[in-house]
Amino acid sequence: MLCCAGRPVMDHGDVSMTPNPPSRSPQRPSRVPRSQQASRPISSNYFDRNVDRHVGVFPHEAMRSRQPIVQRNFCPTSRQQHLVMLRVAVAILLLIGLMLDPRAQAANFKIALVLPDTAADPTRRAVVQFVHFLLNWTLPILNQRLAAPAGHTFTLDYHDSLLTTRDTVRESLIAAQSGAVAVIGEWFSSNTIPMSYAMSHYGIFVCSGSATSEDLSDKTLHPTLFRSITSDSYQGNVFTRALIHFGWQEFNLLADISVYGTSVVKVIQADILTRNITIAAQYMMAFADPAEVTATVADLAKSPSRVVIMAMQMEQAYAIMAEAYAQGFDSSWVWIASEPSSRIAAKLDEMTSPAAMPDRVYALALRKFFEGMIVVWPQELALGDVTFNDWVQLYRATVGDTKILDFRYHLFSQSCLEAHMRAILNLDQKYGTNAVLQRTTNATLEEYLVPFNSSTGPVVYTARGDRMGYFQILNMQDSKLVPAMAIDSQFRISPLPGVTLHFPGNTTTVPPWQPRFQLDAAGYDQPGVMVTLAVAGISILAALGAWVMLVVYRRSKRVRHLGLPYISALCVGLAVALTTPFLWAGEPTDVTCNASEWTLILGMSLALASLAIRSYRLYRVFDNRVLAKSQSLGSRSLFRRCTPSQTWSTRPSRFGARPRPRPARSTSFCTARPWRSQYCSLSGSRTWPSRHAASTRPTARRAGYSTP
């Protein structure tokens, strides 16, 4: 029993302040019949029946007896004590239950935004600034739609990555230490990869709306990263499907030496192995190297294909095309760029402005050269989608402009924000608010991701956390990139209504992948080629055979008279020149094209040089006054003697009979041959000796002349 402590006596008027000593045998009240107990108050009956258990006089009795009242503390019974203790315990348990109930605790979840706010490039800086504006506009709407029903709120924590790896990791660590439960960023894949490593240590999930590297799909290295934009594996496959759709069998592949460029190149190389597509030329370039850009474009001009795929950043793609125009490339070239070039129209406006390019004629021509450019772009503007239309109408109603349709990557970033909010609220229901705030849920990426319909269309993920996205083909028309074709998740390409795809040169006809001036190469199996090569081969053998014979008889008088070096140069030159048709036939390559020029020029030079020297020697021989007067040595006479009829008439007879020479028409015959002067008459006419005088005729060998 608890001890009851006394209290001071209360004064009621003239009542004495002296305490009334407790009575050992207080007077018990008279019993009330059972029939009258119902009309008696319960409180009075209770106190009257239990007055003997307490010390002191009750107030109502003191008032009736006008006795002094002694106020003392009321001592409860053990039953009342147990009841009070039970109520206190229940209240404590209820309070603890309310504290442990995750749905009954309101929380503020912080999402960090790590983006290059102060990027050096003004075009990229403008895009990032609009991403910030759109997310600030979107956050209250999503808080009201998603977080308010659960009693929570979300806030954004901004961090500037400065577009460098070091600052990206540093700012992400600062965000983790400040209590962020999710991160959106970074802009480049090269910066997103180390940030993903750092955030996975803290159990923080990262979403990127611009990094597309295939390396980020490896969930053994990046277990907490996902993307609202499709990966390079989809983008590389879209490139090959576009080549097949347009019927291009060869193409040139240009990529920068970065995580993004090498990732796209690997996917393309693996995809074309099973298709009738080959790479005519491939170049891996350093970022922003003007000397390498110039050399690459100069070498690209020799490629047998006129289709160029550029898997590189926007600045480098612009530099490639600008240099191509400066080197004289025409509209037969087709330029296909990857998703970083989605803002190349703004870059073109910036670089061809009057301040940047005072030569307005050149600037307008350069802008015209970019017309017909194709950009493979993940679908961000989901035209016709109900959710996309609702967001656009809400933006126009509240903001009043149409910038939501003009920028890039902003809706992908908005989808990242909504994906994070839905996933965090889902973890809050499963593991509790404290576990989410302290990042101790140990949830997997599969548990974290929640499919939904966003402003960019349906957001559905693969087993690797990659988004199964849709693509669009953007076309440069009137210096603006407009969606021209759509590509679904099965890589089916279909034109968009109301838009016609234009190629360079403002044509809607699909250009060929090979140069327009190049005809089909002559194959070895064609009859005309076979006949030509056979004649050339026989001629080569004849020239080489004649040269071998001249070498064998090099000591003979006729060979020495003609000159062996000049005859050798003539034969070898003809043989070399005749090898050119063999190089012209078949599929042309760099080796055959260059070699054919050398063989033709070198062979003809040797042959013509030998003939030129022989002609000069003949000129020196016939440069004589006496010979010049001879009619038998005139051009007409010499050509007549070279005819087949004259040659046949002067040939030896079958039986060794000697033909009789025709008499000369002038006296120059005797003058030209002094040893025959004895056979000439005084009048100058030729007289032949009789047979018996043949022995007296001097031989021609002595004078160095041949007999007639």
3-state secondary structure 622-675: HCCHHHHHCHHHCHHHHHHHCCHHHHHHCCCCCCCCCCCCCCCCCCHHHHHCHH
Same domain, 373 and 432: no
| Tokens standing for residue 380 | 């961000």
Distance CA 258, CA 312 (A): 8
pTM recorded for the entire structure: 0.55
pLDDT of 145 higher than 70: yes
pLDDT at 200 over 80: yes
- For residue 385, give the DSSP letter: -
State how many domains the chain has.
3
In a shared domain, residues 118 and 163: yes
Residue-level pLDDT at 24: 46
Q: What is the mean pLDDT of residues 115-137?
A: 87
Interval 523-538: pLDDT, tens: 778 888 889 889 999 9
* 378, 431: one domain: no
Fill in the amino acid letter for 623.
D
Q: Is residue 463 part of a domain?
A: no
Instruction: Tell me which DSSP letter residue 35 carries.
Output: G
Q: Which of 557, 592, 623 is the last residue of a domain?
A: 623
Nearest alpha carbon to residue 149 among 498, 563, 429, 493 = 429
In a domain, 690, yes or no: no
DSSP per residue, 94-132:
HHHHHHH-GGG---EEEEEEEE-TT-SSHHHHHHHHHHH
Using the predicted structure, report yes or no on whether residue 199 has a pLDDT greater than 60. Answer: yes
In this structure, the answer to whether residues 255 and 381 fall within a common structural domain is yes
Q: Is residue 635 domain-resident? A: no
C-alpha to C-alpha distance for 196 and 203, rounded to whole angstroms: 10
**Span 552-570, mean pLDDT?**
83
Same domain, 384 and 487: yes
Answer yes or no: do 173 and 206 share one domain: yes
456 closest CA partner among 234, 212, 230, 232: 230
Per-residue pLDDT, 109? 95
Residue with tokens 């006419």: 685
- 370 with 389, same domain: the answer is yes
What kind and span of H or E run contains 228?
none
The secondary element (H helix, E strand) that includes residue 459 is strand 457-459
pLDDT for res 50: 46
Query: Is the residue at 32 inside a domain?
Result: no
Which of 214-218, 393-397, 420-424, 661-665 is least confident? 661-665
User: 175: domain CATH number?
Assistant: 3.40.50.2300
Dist. CA 676–CA 361, nearest whole Å: 85
pLDDT at 111: 95
Average pLDDT over residues 239-253: 93
Say yes or no to pLDDT of 560 above 50: yes
- Single residue among 423, 452, 481 that ends a domain in this structure: 452
Q: Which of 58-62, 122-126, 256-260, 545-549 has the highest mean pLDDT?
A: 545-549
Distance between CA atoms of residues 138 and 147, nearest Å: 13
Q: Smallest Cα–Cα separation from 211: which of 272, 258, 253, 265?
A: 258
pLDDT band at 160 (very low <50, low <70, confident <90, very high): very high
CB 582 within 8 A of CB 536: yes
283 forms bridges with which residues in the sheet? 254
Residue in 225, 167, 178, 171 with CA at minimum distance from that of residue 197: 225
Is residue 175 within 8 A of residue 219, CB to CB? The reply is: no
Instruction: Examine the pLDDT at 43 and tell me if it is beyond 60.
Output: no
Same domain, residue pair 440 and 354: no
Q: Are residues 386 and 481 in the same domain?
A: yes
Asked whether residue 669 carries a pLDDT value surpassing 60, the answer given is no
The whole-number pLDDT of residue 661 equals: 55
The residue segments making up the domain with residue 559 are 527-623
Q: Does residue 54 sit within a domain?
A: no
User: Do 126 and 224 share a domain, yes or no?
Assistant: yes
With beta carbons less than 8 A apart as the criterion, state whether 112 and 183 touch.
yes
Mean pLDDT, residues 43-49 = 44
- Look up residue 73 and give its two tokens: 């503390």
The SS3 call for residue 27 is coil
Residues 238 and 387 in one domain: yes
With bands split at pLDDT 50, 70 and 90, how would you rate the model's confidence at 75? low
CA nearest neighbour of 283 among 270, 271, 295: 295
Residue 354 lies in a domain: yes
Contact 404, 134 (CB under 8 A): yes
pLDDT of residue 476: 93
Which pair of tokens denotes residue 578? 């005749």
Q: Is the peptide bond before 186 cis (omega within 30 degrees of 0)?
A: yes
In a domain, 506, yes or no: no
Same domain, 420 and 491: no
Calculate the average pLDDT of the chain: 79
Nearest one of 59, 37, 39 to 49, comparing CA atoms: 37
Among 598, 623, 648, where does a domain finish? 623
- Nearest alpha-carbon partner for 135 in 415, 405, 393: 415
In a domain, 315, yes or no: yes
pLDDT at 592 (0 to 100): 84
Amino acid at 36: Q
Asked if the model's pLDDT at residue 390 lies above 50, the reply is yes
